[in-house]
Amino acid sequence: MQERRNLPQMEVIQELLLPVTRTTMWMWIGFIVLGTILAAFAFAVAWMFYWGIGVTGLNRPGMWGFMIVDFVFWIGISHAGVMISAILRLTQAEWRRPVTRAAEVMTMFSLMTAMTLPFIHTGRPWRTAYWVFPYDFWRGIFPDVRSALVMDPSAVFTYLTGTILFIYITTVPDIATLRDRSTGWRKGLYRVLALGWQNDERQWMIQAATGFLLAALMLSIFVSVHSIVSWDFSFSLDPVWHTSVWAPYFVIGAVHSGVSAAVTLMVLMRWMFGFDKYIREEHFDAIGRLLVVVATAWVFFFMLDVFFALFNQDPRETAVMKMRFEQWPYTLMLVLIFVFGYFIPVPIWMFRKFRRNIKLMFWTSIMVNIGMWSERYWLVVPGLERKYEWTFDWNFYRPGIVEITIILGTFALVPFLFMCFSKIFPPVSIWEEKEGQNFLQEIKVGKASIPAIVREF
């Protein structure tokens, strides 16, 4: 049974503009709770900048801890936007319509959050800038420009620039709608941002072509970003890091966590903005089926990583693997990875009835991201926490309260920024929803009416 139905265009506009025009009680609660956590985050960062990186649990040899793990995690979450928006746009999947904007915005804010983490991690970001700029090419003492650590910021900045452009291009028609319905400073803002959009055929053609081209371009950037993040680790000769599978493994893991985060966001938008007519059970059904495939591919790459680390029985690799499998807290993390990341959600998503259960989808999507955060920790931290012939100083990494607060802050920052965005721009694309309403068709087969879509060829 399909829940979709034809809605009057004016009703679509009014309902989808609701977060911009009205601040619901849930939004107020959200702003206050998230704002409080962000205040703690700002205090923790300031505290660390003042006292230095010694207030964290980072110490030799484990110099990459919570903040780098969280950086990898948020880069992963950022893959949802492109996965859902670009791929589903290119493949003309109809169910993408209510999801794309929110996923793209989540991409943008996740990337911004991710990019703050390496800067905070340095402990003295202003000194990092002083050391890095101007970049010393000629003396050869700085990291080689071919190093992943140099490629990484370039890729992430390109991704962010592309994402902002992509969101902007796909939001212009909605900004024009807002311009025509607002007054005061908002009208001025929307007038500038709408770039003279008059809804004529030529503008629609240019907008569609640009969106399509950007989607195709973003796909290649999307793959390259997380590949390069993985190469931060695997270009080194560290045991269990120096492996060729990490690039696609990180990408598929990112898609798994990112699409799950999009499910969480979809449920929250239903609850917070009352978008039940637009984000329907059929959308969760479709995204659930996609997640079954993505999760299974992720497990395949996970198994490849583990099996081929042990493949030639190198003592150093075996030692780290042993630590990952047998030592606290990695044992717990391994359980979380498998149970939360695959063995609970995927069997649930196999059944249509459960895929259409909103609460179940919400909790399974949260579980996946707990599992995926653990996976990032399980991959990154033990790689440095090993003893070998030249180790002179050694300790386990244990995160401090400052790091924990910073991490909690990042989890508050993304939804906070998303809510701020929703106060200025519609979080569900109005024009795409209206287009989808126009494309609604039905075919009679015997006595049954089958939902149908328009296809151009």
Partner 1 sequence: MATVTGGHHVPEPSPVTRAWDYTPGQLVRDGLQRLRAKGQWYRISLIILAILTVIGIIALIVQAIASGWGDRENWGYVAVAFGYIMSTVAAAPCVCVAGRLTRAHWRRPIDRISEIWAAAMIVPAILFLLLMWTVPNTHGRPTIWFGWWAAPYLWDAILVLGLAFTGYALLYVSSIPDLAIARAQIEDGSANWLTRKAEGFFGTQSQWRVIERAVAYLGAFYVVMYIGTMTVIAADFIMSLIPGYKSAIFPAYFAISGFGGGVAVVVVTASIMRLWGGAEDYLGREQFFALAKIQLALGLLFAYFIWTDFVIPWYGRMPWEILQIRLLYFDSYLWYFVAAFALCFISPLVLLMWTKLRRGRVGPFIVSSGVLIGLLADRIRLFSSAFSDKDITEDRLHALPPVLHPGVLDWLIVIGAIAACIALVMLAMRLIPVPSIWEMTEGTRLRARRRFHNVEVTIIGKPDY
Rounded to whole angstroms, the Cα distance separating 408 from 38 reads 8
For partner 1 (CB under 8 A), the number of binding residues is 38
**Which of 85, 234, 260, 364: binder of partner 1 (CB under 8 A)?**
234
Is 347 near partner 1 (CB under 8 A)? no
Is 43 near partner 1 (CB under 8 A)? no
Is 301 near partner 1 (CB under 8 A)? yes
Classified as helix, coil or strand, 445 is strand
Q: Which helix (H) or strand (E) holds 354?
A: helix 352-355
Q: Which stretch binds partner 1 (CB under 8 A): 260-268, 327-335, 341-349, 440-448?
A: 440-448
Q: Which helix (H) or strand (E) holds 441?
A: strand 441-445
Distance of CA 432 to the CA centre of its chain: 22
Q: Residue 114: which of 79, 166, 82, 146 has the closest Cα?
A: 79
Is 359 near partner 1 (CB under 8 A)? no
Q: Within positions 266 to 295, which residues make up the interface with partner 1, using CB under 8 A?
A: 282, 293
Q: How far is the CB of 213 from partner 1 (least distance, A)?
A: 12
**Which of 237, 359, 389, 392: binder of partner 1 (CB under 8 A)?**
237
Classified as helix, coil or strand, 442 is strand
Taken in order 118, 119, 120, 121, the sign of the CA dihedral is: positive
Angle subtended by helix axes 9-16 and 430-439, to nearest 10: 150
- Where are the alpha helices (H) located in 133-200, listed in sequence order? 148-179, 184-193
Is 199 near partner 1 (CB under 8 A)? no
Is 42 near partner 1 (CB under 8 A)? no
Q: Which stretch binds partner 1 (CB under 8 A): 241-249, 259-267, 270-278, 329-337?
A: 241-249
Q: How far is the CB of 302 from partner 1 (least distance, A)?
A: 10
DSSP code, position 59: B
**Which of 1, 10, 25, 141: binder of partner 1 (CB under 8 A)?**
1
Q: Which stretch binds partner 1 (CB under 8 A): 8-16, 163-171, 174-182, 445-453?
A: 445-453
Residues 6+ apart with CB under 8 A from 245: 301, 304, 305, 308
Q: 27-51 burial, b for 16+ CB within 10 Å, e for fewer?
A: beebbeebeebbeebeebbeebeee
Q: Within positions 314 to 343, which residues make up the interface with partner 1, using CB under 8 A?
A: none
Rounded to whole angstroms, the Cα distance separating 172 from 316 reads 55
**Which of 25, 32, 141, 445: binder of partner 1 (CB under 8 A)?**
445
Task: Supply 218's token pair.
Answer: 């973003």
Closer Cβ to partner 1, 382 or 409, answer by number: 382
Closer Cβ to partner 1, 180 or 442, answer by number: 442
Contact residues for partner 1, defined by CB under 8 A: 1-2, 223, 227, 231, 234-235, 237, 242-245, 247-248, 282, 293, 300-301, 304-305, 307-313, 441, 443, 445, 450-457
